[in-house]
A and B are shown apart, each in its own frame.
Chain A
Amino acid sequence: MTALAQRPTDSPPSDSVPPGIDAHRLAERRVLPLRHPLRWVITALVLVLLLNFAQTLFTNPSWEWEKVGKWFFSPPILKGLQLTIVATAISAVVSFFGGIVVAVARLSGNPVLSTLSSFYIWLFRSVPLLLVLVFLFNLGNLYPEIGVGIPFGPQFTVNTVATLTPLALGVIGLSLSEIAYSAEVVRSGLLAVDQGQHEAADALGIPKRRQFTRIVLPQALRSIVPAYVNQIIGLIKASSLLYYVSLLDLFGIAQNLGSTYPTDVIPLLVVATIWYLILTSVIAVVQYYIERFYARGTVRVLPPTPLQRVRRALSSRRATAGVA
């Protein structure tokens, strides 16, 4: 122990203290935190640049905000938005479960299944989504009829073009490519579950299927969810490629209206941008709560949600106001 730590009131300062200072007095005062002047300068600089840009939003007439307002809730835009949401939602759900199937197949001991799923992932990660979509839209030329049956035996077939609507083809295209990515996301999540969890479940004789749904998958989802939401956000934007196969999604509608009303191109792009921002933000909020759900048990106490934080701040302010 040093003399400083013991703080005997009358004993002389020890030799370990620099000469010429009053050890007792200094030791009792609060240590001053380091200041960061450069931080303030850089912050000011960034704010000035930001304000410059913000100003142009109001002063530059080309933004044409009144037209943005006019188009924002217009029926064609909402219809395009609906198509974007429907195509994305169906593909997201299909590719989540498809991804689990492909990932489990890849991790399985069955060499045929595991090789097939590796091949599938390799194929659809290699080929551009746009190419997949255009390919599918020409499927009628390649296979006028599709179906299943016993080779050289009875067949069940339907007409390709009549059965598969453009939206169905679009969703199939998005899903085919998305499954390849989500399979890898799911696989990484499954591999992240500690081997001891499998052993404990084995030792307790829990049946394999229940081991997967009750023990392994819930733990894997903790690392799957953030990566998969990332995929979904990518999927929303990838759905704009549907425009190239003549499906009018949000982006497609904005493009189309832009060529019909050439003076409104900028406002229409702004409308589409804002809608994409809204979609992504909604997903981010949902993601926050899903992650929180799967985090139970991983930390001793979960941090409060933003809403709880606001409520707590308000109630503590009320409390202090009451005291005053």
Chain B
Amino acid sequence: MTQAIAVHNATKSYGDKTVLRGVDFSVEAGTVTVILGPSGSGKSTLLRAINHLEKLDEGFVSLNGELIGVRVKGDRLKELRPREILRQRAKIGFVFQNFNLFPHLTILENVSEAPISHGIKPAEARKTAAALLARVGLSDKEASYPRQLSGGQQQRVAIARALALDPDVILFDEPTSALDPELVGEVLAVIRTLAGSGKTLIVVTHEIGFAREVADRVVFMDEGAIVEEGVPEQVLNHPAHSRTQDFLSKVLA
């Protein structure tokens, strides 16, 4: 197995509040990693740092051997120009908790927007977008606007949109937290189909059942650091650390 993503000494603070304390973390290509942790544990910040939506104070992220958002200058790291960072992000899909679909564009336009802006011919981009929408079961909604869809449907569109650039890695930031309970299943079902498709998935979620079923590896974070990690069976059923036990007993209660 090759490493798709490696995070080295990720350190970040907002003012005097430290959110990441030197996190080391790596993910093998084609696997599903679920990050768990209480609110404020730094799991979303870590995820957002992977595609450089958050800038790290120290440390770096690499994807398939390429540094993300920075380059080596002498014996230091220097931030890249926005244009280069935007180009790198094409290889990393991101799915937001609040979907963040473009409300003034139709569903089809939402999915084809990024490929068109990366120079794919519009006709071709629309064809790919239509195929992706079929894959998430929303072929009949191509001409609708996001607000005309349910939350679950919107998140499935957001997943199709993240897939449109054929990224190596897809990051999910609490993809089901903004959904009504009965809509969670349809979104998890779409994510499940992506597991084992060759794409590397990193999912921040509170869905323990989903983690147990789909994850190859579970990472538990607290107070800006990784407390423990391992296969789901080990971390979820026999957590070694008292903070993990504490968290699981609260979430599963």
Interface residues of A (CB under 8 A from B): 194, 196-197, 199-208, 210, 214-215, 218-219, 222, 294, 296-300
* Size class of the contact patch on chain B: 20 to 34
CA distance A215 to B103 in the complex (A): 9
Q: Are B103 and A219 in contact (CB-based, < 8 A)?
A: yes
Does B104 lie within 8 Å of A218, measured CB to CB?
A: yes
- Interface status of B56 (Cβ within 8 A of chain A): no
| CB contact under 8 A between A294 and B117, given known A204-B89, A205-B87, A208-B86 | no
Shortest CB-to-CB span from B144 to chain A, Å, is: 9
Asked whether B147 lies within 8 Å of A300 as measured between CB atoms, the reply is: yes
Q: Which residue of chain A has the shortest Cβ distance to B87 in the bound complex?
A: A205
Complex Cα spacing A215 to B110, Å: 10
Chain A hits for B102, CB < 8 A: 197, 200-201, 215, 219
List the B side residues contacting A299 at CB < 8 Å.
147
Residues on B lying within 8 angstroms of A by beta carbon are 51, 53, 82-83, 86-90, 92-94, 96, 98, 100-106, 113-114, 117-118, 145-148, 161-162, 165
Question: In the complex, A303→B174 CA distance in Å?
Answer: 35
Chain B CB within 10 Å, residue with most, of A208, A218, A297, A299? A297
Contacts of B104 in A (CB 8 A): 218-219, 222, 294, 296-298
Contact B96 A196 (CB under 8 A): yes
Given contacts A206-B114, A207-B83, contact A297 B53 (CB under 8 A): no
When distances are taken between beta carbons in the complex, the residues of chain B under 8 Å from A219 are 102-104
Shortest distance from the beta carbon of A35 to any chain B beta carbon, whole Å? 39
A204-B117, A294-B104 known; 6 new pairs, CB 8 Å cut-off, are: A200-B96, A203-B53, A204-B165, A208-B82, A219-B102, A300-B147
Contacts of A203 in B (CB 8 A): 51, 53, 89, 92-94, 96, 162
Query: Is there an interface contact between B86 and A199, defined as CB atoms closer than 8 Å?
Result: no
Provide the bound-state CA to CA distance between A6 and B113, in Å.
Answer: 55
Residues of B within 8 A of A294 (CB): 104
B114 and A205 within 8 A (CB)? yes
Bound CA–CA A197/B96 (angstroms)? 11
Is B53 a contact partner of A199 (Cβ separation < 8 A)? yes
CB-CB under 8 A from B114, the residues of chain A are: 204-206
Partner of B53, one of A197, A202, A210: A202
User: CA–CA, A207 to B100, complex, Å?
Assistant: 17
Chain B residue nearest to A215 in the complex (CB): B102
Complex Cα gap A300–B90 (Å) = 31
Residues of A within 8 A of B51 (CB): 203
Contacts of B161 in A (CB 8 A): 204
Considering the chains assembled together, what is the distance between the CA atoms of A218 and B113 in angstroms?
A: 14
**Chain B, Cβ-Cβ closest to A206:** B117
